[in-house]
Amino acid sequence: MTTISAPRTRGAGPGRRTSRGNWELYGWVFMRASGVVLLVLIFGHLFVNLVAGDGISAIDFGFVAGKWASPFWQVWDLLMLWLAMIHGTNGVRTIINDYAERDGTRMVLKLALYVSFVVVVVLGTLVIFTFDPCPPNSPADLLPSFCTA
Amino acid sequence: MTAVAERSAAAEPKAGEIPSFEVTLKIRRYTPETHGDEAYWEEHTVTAHGTDRLLDALHKIKWESDGSLTFRRSCAHGVCGSDAMRINGRNRLACKALLKDLNPDKPITVEPIKGLPVIKDLVVDMEPFFASYREIMPFLITTGTEPSRERLQSPEQRARFDDTTKCILCAACTSSCPVFWTDGQYFGPAAIVNAHRFIFDSRDEGGAQRLEILNDKEGVWRCRTTFNCTEACPRGIEVTKAIQEVKRAMITRAF
């Protein structure tokens, strides 16, 4: 049986906080546009990594390093990271707004969401641009075989 | 009265007789004056005919067995929009729901519509609903001098918003919307439908204002197109479609 909220709980009405402007509109359009772009980016990514050439057996440390040596794949992965993270975060934000009834719950969940967004995006961006397969002064047994230091 | 007595005496169906059946209603009641602050379920069994609607069964309970049962109804014929309620989990007008279509073999659950504060039994406080309705300015807005004759409109211009003129403000759509259930801040389908009725009216000049009002955090962008509203509308209005048309009007205006 569905639960029914306590009778005479005050609903909304005249006390609505108005916040007009095109923010939600742009968000709505962004979700559609980024969704289409992500389809291309993600399936392109999957094809190049898992199907093309030697397929899945080609993936190793060197494969990733080779891809990120080219600015094309840097931009591709950066775009994929940012679009996917903004798209996903906005989607989860929407779900939190729709389902979290108490203001406190809503705030805590959104805070956790935004923190994880920042961590993933900052870390991901950093890795894409600073990835070095052969970091200097590393123990030799931890380095891939092609590193001839 | 005599006809009924005769029939039971004869104990055989006469030509043209309407078959009757027993139906149980499981009603969500809330009567703080006598039963405390908790809502509770109450079952009533009545004899009904194939032509009876749920409203007839409720009348029978109220008039013949429990006068304390409280619900709204005015015209009782699907026009005034007073008796929207949650019947077997779906928002329907009690005066348009035939008992025979509701599977009378099982108890039929009857609850007040969700998302609005219950006042008593099946009666809810409609004020939050009407507050949203008032906010979208449901009246003709024009500029300039008033014409000395009617404001003419072609059949095509009229057809553009014909669907949304059918709304009777019963709140079946708004109170079926899961986004409205959460915190009741969302304008709700009914307010958007009635804004649509004026936004797409060629005689009206308040479209920009109305779009501005609905371009709110709690406006059309909270619609998740679950189609609950379209399913619930007793007038068959394509509510979700109307909401999407308002969204599209906003996007074409912004870009």
B148-167 tens-digit pLDDT: 999 999 999 999 999 999 99
Distance in Å, alpha carbon of A52 to nearest chain B alpha carbon: 38
A137 in B contact zone (CB under 8 Å): no
B28 in A contact zone (CB under 8 Å): yes
Phi-psi region of B183 (alpha: psi -120 to 50; beta: other; left: phi over 0): alpha
Query: What is the predicted pLDDT for the residue at A2?
Result: 52
A23 in B contact zone (CB under 8 Å): yes
Phi-psi region of B146 (alpha: psi -120 to 50; beta: other; left: phi over 0): beta
Closest to B199 (Cα-Cα) out of B163, B172, B151? B163
Query: What is the predicted pLDDT for the residue at A13?
Result: 46
* pLDDT reading at B4 higher than 70: no
Distance in Å, alpha carbon of A110 to nearest chain B alpha carbon: 16
Query: What is the predicted pLDDT for the residue at A81?
Result: 96
Mean of pLDDT values over B119-134:
95
Task: Look at B176 and A53; give whichever has higher pLDDT.
Answer: B176
Residue of B nearest to A30 (CA): B251
B185 in A contact zone (CB under 8 Å): yes
Which residues of chain B neighbour A4 with C-beta distances below 8 Å?
A: 28, 39, 111, 114
Task: Look at A14 and B129; give whichever has higher pLDDT.
Answer: B129
Which residues of chain B neighbour A110 with C-beta distances below 8 Å?
A: none
Query: What is the predicted pLDDT for the residue at A12?
Result: 44
For the residues of B41-85, what is the DSSP string, one character each? Answer: EEEEEEEEETT-BHHHHHHHIIIII-TT-----SSSSSSS---EE
A29-61 tens-digit pLDDT: 999 999 999 999 999 999 988 888 787 888 877
Mean pLDDT over each residue of chain B, to the nearest integer:
92
* pLDDT reading at A14 higher than 50: no
* pLDDT reading at B187 higher than 70: yes
Are B78 and B93 a contacting pair, CB within 8 Å? Answer: yes
Contact B30 A7 (CB under 8 A): yes
Mean of pLDDT values over B26-50:
93
* pLDDT reading at A75 higher than 60: yes
Domain definitions of chain A by residue range: 29-133
ipTM of the complex: 0.77
Strand B20-29 versus strand B108-111 pairing type: parallel
Query: What is the predicted pLDDT for the residue at B13?
Result: 61
Q: How many CB atoms lie within 10 A of CB A90?
A: 17
Half-sphere exposure of B51 (CA within 13 A, CB side): 4
Task: Look at A133 and B121; give whichever has higher pLDDT.
Answer: B121
Say which CATH class B127-147+155-254 falls into.
mainly alpha
Dist CA B202 CA B153 (whole Å): 7
Query: What is the predicted pLDDT for the residue at A144?
Result: 72
Mean of pLDDT values over B208-234:
93
A20 in B contact zone (CB under 8 Å): yes
Q: Looking at the domain A29-133, which fold is it?
A: 3 helical TM bundles of succinate and fumarate reductases (1.20.1300)
Mean of pLDDT values over B163-185:
93
* pLDDT reading at A11 higher than 50: no
Dist CA B39 CA B134 (whole Å): 31
Amino acid at position B74, single letter: S
* Residues whose CB is less than 8 angstroms from the CB of residue B91 and which lie 6 or more positions away in sequence, other chains included: B84, B85, B113, B172, B173, B175, B176, B232
A101-139 tens-digit pLDDT: 888 999 999 999 999 999 999 999 999 988 887 777 777
Burial of B81 (0-12, 13-18, 19+ CB in 10 A): buried
B61-104 tens-digit pLDDT: 999 999 999 999 999 999 999 999 999 999 999 999 999 999 98
Contact A2 B132 (CB under 8 A): no
Q: How far is CA B200 from CA A7, A133, B132, B147, B207, in A?
A: 38, 61, 19, 20, 8
Domain definitions of chain B by residue range: 15-124, 127-147+155-254
Dihedral pair phi/psi, residue B219, rounded to 5°: -90, -145
B236-248 tens-digit pLDDT: 999 999 999 999 9
Closest to B90 (Cα-Cα) out of B233, B232, B190, B238? B232
Phi-psi region of B88 (alpha: psi -120 to 50; beta: other; left: phi over 0): left
Does the domain at B15-124 match CATH 3.40.50.11540? Answer given as: no
